[in-house]
Structure 1
Amino acid sequence: MSKYLLDKFLFTVDRDPELTERYREDPAGTVTWWEAEMANTILNCIPAEKTTWLAFTDEERRALAEHDHVALFQMGAHPFLTLTLFIALFERDHGPMEYQRAYGKAMEHISMPYPDIST
């Protein structure tokens, strides 16, 4: 499992409005594409700078494809990254602060100590 790769996915998808919409409409396809095309690029470097060893686990792919922010948090994905991306994905479908409250409620069963979210 790679918390770095989960956080990189959440960060890069959230920063690109077209990619955010793509992830909203076709989450599994977006995860598959992103893993193949973007996972091994190095942030803030020229496109030729790549690595070859980064890949999601099946559990990570499933959680990303299902928009499962609780499972992502339990795997160590940073909650601010999931929250900001998922607000962009779903807030429009809810009233003011309704999505944020539902996000928190879905995670209220998780007790301290929380998963390590350091990368």
Structure 2
Amino acid sequence: MSKYLVNKFLYTIDRDPDLVERYRADPRGTVGWWESERANTLLNCVSGEASTWLRLDDAEREALADHDYPKLFELGAHPFLTLTLFIAMFERDHDGLDYQKEYARRLAHFSLPYPDIAT
């Protein structure tokens, strides 16, 4: 499992409004495209440098494709990265803070100590 790669996905998608919309509309396709085209590029680097070994595991790929942020949190994704991306995608479908309240409700079954979010 690569918490780094999951967090990199969340971070890079959240910073591009076109990718946010693409992920909202076609999560499975976006995850597949990102993993094959962007996962091995260096973060915040415009040169042609890349690695070749990083891959999502099946659980990570499924959680990302299903927009399953409780599962992502369980797998160790950083909660602030999931929250900011999922707010960008779904807050518009709710009134006021209803989406944030739903996010908190769906994570309420976790208790301390939380899953390790270190990468």
SS at match of 2:21: helix
Residues 87 and 100 of structure 1 are in contact (CA less than 8 Å); yes or no, is this contact kept in structure 2? yes
Distance in 1 (CA, whole Å) between partners of 2:34 and 2:46 is 17
Provide Cα deviations, 1:8-47, integer angstroms capped at 9, x if missing partner.
0000000000000000000000000000000000112234
Task: Tell me the equivalent position of 1:27.
Answer: 27
Name the structure 1 match of 2:2: 2
Query: Which residue pairs with 2:36 in the alignment?
Result: 36
Segments of 4+ in structure 1 off by > 3 A?
none
Answer with 3-12 or 40-49: which moved more. 40-49
Aligned AA (1:44): N
One-letter identity of the residue aligned with 1:23: Y
Across the aligned residues of Structure 1 and Structure 2, the Cα RMSD in angstroms comes to: 0.7
Cα shift at 1:112:
1.1
Provide the identity percentage: 64
Q: Aligned letter for 1:33?
A: W
> Which residue is 2:14 aligned to?
14
TM-score, structure 1 length as denominator?
Answer: 0.98
Q: Which residue of 2 aligns with 1:88?
A: 88
3-state SS, counterpart of residue 33 of structure 2:
helix
What displacement does 1:66 show?
Answer: 0.4
Structure 2 stretches lacking a partner, 5+ long = none
Q: Which ranges of structure 1 fall in alignment gaps of 5 or more residues? A: none
Q: Is the 8 A contact 1:40 1:50 kept in 2?
A: yes
**Quick check: 1:27–1:67 contact (8 Å CA) kept in 2?**
yes
> How many residues matched?
119
TM (norm. structure 2) is 0.98
Maintained 8 Å contact 1:41/1:47: no
- Which amino acid is the alignment partner of residue 19 of structure 1? L
